Structure 1
Amino acid sequence: MHFVIIGGGAVGLVMANCLAQQGHLVELLVHSEQQKKKIQTSGVNFINHLGQKSVVPFKVSTSAEDLEHKAIWIIAVKYHHLNGLQSVFEKLPEDTELLFIQNGIQHIKFATALKQRTIFLGSVEFGAEKKNLNTVIHRGIGPLKIARFKGHPSAIEKLTNIATEYFPVAIMDDYSKMLVRKALLNCFVNTLTTILRVKNGELIRHPYCVKILRQLYQEVMTAFPEQKSQLTFEDVENVCKNTAQNTSSMLADYMNGRVMEIDTIIGGIIELAQQRGYTVPMLSTCYSLLQAMQEGGGSN
């Protein structure tokens, strides 16, 4: 199959490498000229979960017009970058298939307004860490979950063919439940790793971290009882274990002075909980702490 991946971040580069190593044709659309030139000259250095290294060449561009419009386009950028890509989607044909990979649930409204007839939504649970412009580490194996948002039901079937032992894919029936589950997971892991400034594995390694994690889980899940069977506390612990050496995306953003996805992930869950008639004081305090950290201008 043919894929175009929008975004040269950790998730986009891991997906690009996993797909290319299966023999799929993959092109990259990146924002930075510097990253484009680096990948053009040196390829992407990929370090798998076992520490094995490989170098994969890609066609890469900063212009969507240079890339194949009939491919499946995977949008692997953060929510707050989507509006800047509006012109890209306007120029793509209606029959171009799109797969959105974002945290939170706010991108649903964005996807609704697009003209493309076939749109999938995805949720990533593998570990990924970008070391520099063209080096990425696959930190831990986890599923890529995909659900149909709009389009013919059979359109999603071909995406089962991209699954491998080290790049598992799960096709989900309900995109809303899938995205809420991932947003909840991010509320627990991203929130606490950023406030505590630790890697994912530390949340289950130290007794006090586990206590805080459990308290936050119990509070938030009272507002989402239907998710308890889909996201148990053991599931949260397993994600921390499987991505133990990973720096969460929110902590990575904070450490590099980038905008954190505070409203996208945490704000959205707080709003949903309030709509259901629940208050989540612990999560709300975490939200305020992260906003204060954001205004502080990064870790330095």
Structure 2
Amino acid sequence: MGVRVSEPSGSDPVAIVGPGAVGLALAARLALEGHPVTLCGRSGSATVAEIELTDHQGIRTVAVDWQDDPARVSPFRWVVVGTKLHQRDAAHAWLEGLVDRDTVLVVAQNGVEHRDWVSPHAAGGQVAPALVHFNAERLGRGRVEVRQDGAGLVIGDDAPGRRAHALLERTGLGVQVVADFTTAAWHKLMVNAVANPVTALTSRRVEVFRDPSVRDLAAAMLGEVAAVGRAEGARLPDDAVDDVLAWIDARPSGAGSSMLADRLAGRPMEHDGLLGAVVRKARMHGIAVPLCAAVLALVAALDGADH
């Protein structure tokens, strides 16, 4: 299945799946650049809404269309998925109507399974995985604050990635194009697959990694993740574990994680798309990851008990 897509113009309609922090931020930035944006997700009864964006330029508001019924959408040339990993089932319902053979589908999520889970809707040549590095916080319905330092989005240097770059650079969030997206994705997953579940399990922020026993656990888990990543083709150096621990050490005092925030707020956590992806890939390669599997089981049980 081929894809016939021209470069985006400032007036091209864009569908954004997921009115969470990432979706709201991308929708607001694209709408401010003149793109007619349709935000797809729960909205109550509103069909037109305003997004209030807070960033380095202050507070701005922009109008978008808001659609809350997947049965009422038709295909878009440009579709961006900004849901969290545990919201894939809901996203599938939207993609069924939004995507056809001429769609470029940008999957702006954590993890390493971007193309895998959208494969029922789009061929690989239509899909542009994007790693989200900008920090966004949803302040309420239609309200989002964006904080960033450096490249906010990382995409691969392939055909769909180059198409997506033409759209994503309009967000002003900073787009880095990398030749080796696999390595970039697994390097980020090393952080997310360990820092997120450990902080969520302990209900503590990054200072928990200063405890010697927790640090030893994190280092061992990171070693397991790196082994699976290398089996998947990621070029992770021998000192990758030390690099990730140093990155965690450099976080400001009191910094938490998205999974900890979700637990404290009583929301479902995206453990399956992070640590679960590591365990799934490990089984495919016959690699033992006992610590990652054990922590995954504990976080899953915790998530189930909280809901």
Query: What range is the shorter-chain TM-score in?
Result: 0.7 to 0.9
Assess, with a 3 A threshold, how the Cα gap between structure 1 residues 143 and 241 changes in structure 2: closer, same or farther: farther
Write the letter of the residue equivalent to 1:46.
L
Count, aligned residues: 288
Measured in 2, the distance between the counterparts of 1:202 and 1:26 equals 43
TM-score by length of 1: 0.77
> Helix, strand or coil: the match of 1:12?
helix
**Which of 129, 132, 149 pairs up with 2:137?**
129
**Which of 194, 197, 201 pairs up with 1:191?**
197
1:45 aligns with 2:56: no
Write the letter of the residue equivalent to 1:118.
Q
Measured in 2, the distance between the counterparts of 1:121 and 1:16 equals 17
Write the letter of the residue equivalent to 1:162.
R
TM-score by length of 2: 0.75
1:33 aligns with 2:43: yes
Assess, with a 3 A threshold, how the Cα gap between structure 1 residues 280 and 89 changes in structure 2: closer, same or farther: closer
1:272 aligns with 2:259: no
RMSD over aligned Cα, in angstroms? 3.6
* Aligned partners of 2:79 and 2:104 also within 8 Å: yes
Measured in 2, the distance between the counterparts of 1:73 and 1:103 equals 17
* Aligned partners of 1:148 and 1:156 also within 8 Å: no
* Aligned partners of 2:51 and 2:143 also within 8 Å: yes
Map 1:9-88 onto structure 2 (within 5 A). 9-21=20-32, 23-34=33-44, 37=46, 40=49, 43-48=50-55, 52-63=58-69, 69-88=75-94
Assess, with a 3 A threshold, how the Cα gap between structure 1 residues 132 and 99 changes in structure 2: closer, same or farther: same
Write the letter of the residue equivalent to 1:112.
S
In the alignment, what sits opposite 1:7?
A: 18
1:98 aligns with 2:109: no
In the alignment, what sits opposite 2:152?
A: 143
Once the two structures are TM-superposed, the CA of residue 58 in structure 1 deviates from its matched residue by 2.5
Once the two structures are TM-superposed, the CA of residue 268 in structure 1 deviates from its matched residue by 1.5
1:56-101 deviation digits (Å, cap 9, x = unpaired): 3333222468778444210111344334444543434421221112
* Aligned partners of 1:96 and 1:118 also within 8 Å: yes
Which piece of structure 1 moves more, 72-81 or 225-234? 225-234
In the alignment, what sits opposite 1:293?
A: 302
**Runs of 5+ unmatched residues, structure 2:** 1-9
Once the two structures are TM-superposed, the CA of residue 140 in structure 1 deviates from its matched residue by 4.0
